[in-house]
Amino acid sequence: AQSVTQLGSHVSVSEGALVLLRCNYSSSVPPYLFWYVQYPNQGLQLLLKYTTGATLVKGINGFEAEFKKSETSFHLTKPSAHMSDAAEYFCAVSVNSGYSTLTFGKGTMLLVSP
């Protein structure tokens, strides 16, 4: 079985500052990793995903994440925060099996101040 831990239920940054949202996973087989964003009163939107290959993954809205197998981590970063980045971010893990489902972390609320 797989699991996801997101460190910090809330992260506050100033506009223009670096965004770092932490995600650690547990999986007995090579994982597929995802970051989703949820804006208020909306569904989840995929930011980026890692399946195989290059460990640095670029996503939408300037976000990127790096898969580090040795650290079982998949942290999400963005060099410069915008006010519009304020939302809840979810890390999720899946495995490439016949009946694959997503296991989500508890989420991290990103607050961006002017």
Partner 1 sequence: DSGVTQTPKHLITATGQRVTLRCSPRSGDLSVYWYQQSLDQGLQFLIQYYNGEERAKGNILERFSAQQFPDLHSELNLSSLELGDSALYFCASTRGNGADTQYFGPGTRLTVL
Site residues (CB under 8 A) for partner 1?
32, 34, 36, 42-46, 49, 51, 90, 94-107
**Cβ-based nearer residue to partner 1, 5 or 77:** 5
Q: Is 82 helix (H, G, I), strand (E, B) or coil?
A: coil
Q: Does residue 110 contact residue 85 with C-beta atoms inside 8 Å?
A: yes
Residue 63 identity (one-letter amino acid):
F
CA 56 – CA 40 distance, rounded (Å)? 28
CB of 93 to partner 1, least distance (A): 10
Nearer of residues 79 and 106 to partner 1, judged by Cβ: 106
Least Å from the CB of residue 17 to partner 1: 27
Give the nearest distance from C-beta 47 to partner 1 in angstroms. Answer: 11
Choose between 15 and 72: whose C-beta lies nearer to partner 1: 72
CA distances from 99 to 2, 27, 36, 67, 95 (A): 14, 15, 21, 23, 9
